Amino acid sequence: MCTESVDTRDWEQLLCKGAQEVFEMMIGTSLERCPDTLGCVPGEFTAVVGLAGPIHGVFALRCDEKTACGIACGMLGMDENGARAEVWDALGEVCNMVVGNFKGKIGRVGEASVLSVPTVIHGHDYKVRPLVNGSFLDCLMQTGNGQLHLRLDYKLA
């Protein structure tokens, strides 16, 4: 598949729209885009899903513990105590659904790409590094529980 003619100009908007759809349908909460990422404080939870094929790279969803717990509560219909043990799985699954939704919105190049199993990282002493010479999409989103930082680092094959 030739990716030289792929128009990526609206991809950031499609990523944010896909995240909003997933949050409304699967978690029962609204998600609004913040004006910029300057006020983003990295959280201690990062869920990542890899992409391979015409698009290769990594999608990351990062948030703090309060936001992650709110996602798990909404997704699983549990209270905070019950959802706390499920935070990692819920966050990984939401990450997978958001990037899957986005992949479905971008046409043939997305359809021909595949996703990895989600991985969730927890802690404060780490840094997620982007691809060298790659492109990226960056969205800061707000839920009722806190902020989410969505980032897709990618290259077109």
Provide mean pLDDT across the span 60-87. 91
How many percent of the chain have pLDDT more than 90?
A: 74
What are the pLDDT digits (tens) for 92-135? 999 999 999 999 999 999 999 999 999 999 998 887 777 888 99
- CATH number of this structure's domain 11-156, picked from the four choices 3.30.420.40, 1.10.10.10, 3.40.1550.10, 3.40.50.720: 3.40.1550.10
Q: Look-up: residue for tokens 């709110």?
A: 70
> Taking the domains of the chain in order of start, what are their residue ranges?
11-156
Helix (H, G, I), strand (E, B) or coil at 36: coil
What pLDDT does residue 64 have? 94
What are the pLDDT digits (tens) for 9-31? 999 999 999 999 999 999 999 99
Contacts of 87 (CB under 8 A, 6+ apart): 45, 65, 68, 69, 71, 72
What pLDDT does residue 152 have? 96
